[in-house]
Structure 1
Amino acid sequence: MDNNSVFFVTEDGENIEFNIIDETKLNGISYILVTDSPQDESGDCYIMKDISSEDEEEANYIFVEDENELNAVFEIFEKMMDEDIEIIK
């Protein structure tokens, strides 16, 4: 796996590659902000969280679906982003 990308496996077994924009931690949980588009292009962004245990070698990410959790992490990423990047909820 490339350090700047993560692969998500759908229920149909399809691998989808996401480019990692940034990462952060909140309450001890690791989160990544990813996009489905190549670098320097506009695309949809998603927030994913690491649900793997400490003894697992690779991270296991899922999409954040809880509205309160999503809003809290979204605010952190919004503050971290450069002025050149616009995040629309």
Structure 2
Amino acid sequence: MNEKIKFTDSITGEEIEMFVIEQTRVNNMEYLLVTESEDDGEEAEAYILKDLSCPEEEEAVYEFVEDDAELKYVSDIFAELLEDTEITR
């Protein structure tokens, strides 16, 4: 997938660019697996974000998944979707 998206930190106003590796929908919640690195061949930090915005909102609102149970559950789903990619927690 590797679509490039930009986020604006609501606290600092800093613009952050991320690359979307994969996305999925679980229990009517949209999740993104993102990384700061575009290169598929290198080991990189990946993050799972969830979309908190309402369908009628013009811009999406994402937050990092920090709940351990939710993080494990969604990362297991991404691991299945990306069978050739190793995901470690």
What's the offset of the Cα at 1:66? 1.1
**Corresponding residue for residue 73 of structure 1:** 74
What's the offset of the Cα at 1:61? 1.0
Query: Which secondary structure state, in structure 1, belongs to the residue aligned with residue 59 of structure 2?
Result: coil
What's the offset of the Cα at 1:13? 1.4
How many aligned residue pairs are there? Answer: 86
Q: Which of 66-75 and 3-12 deviates more?
A: 3-12
Question: How big is each residue's C-alpha offset from its partner over 1:9-64, in whole Å with a ceiling of 9 and x where there is no partner?
Answer: 23221111110000001100000000011232331000000000011123211111
> Normalization by structure 1: what TM-score?
0.86
**Corresponding residue for residue 4 of structure 1:** 3
**Corresponding residue for residue 17 of structure 2:** 17
- Give the share of equivalent positions with the same residue, in percent: 43
1:43 partner amino acid: A
Query: Which secondary structure state, in structure 2, belongs to the residue aligned with residue 7 of structure 1?
Result: strand
RMSD (Å), alpha carbons? 1.5
Q: Which runs of 5+ in 2 are unaligned?
A: none
Query: Which secondary structure state, in structure 2, belongs to the residue aligned with residue 87 of structure 1?
Result: coil
> Normalization by structure 2: what TM-score?
0.86
**Corresponding residue for residue 36 of structure 2:** 36
**CA distance in 2: counterparts of 1:80 and 1:51, whole angstroms:** 22
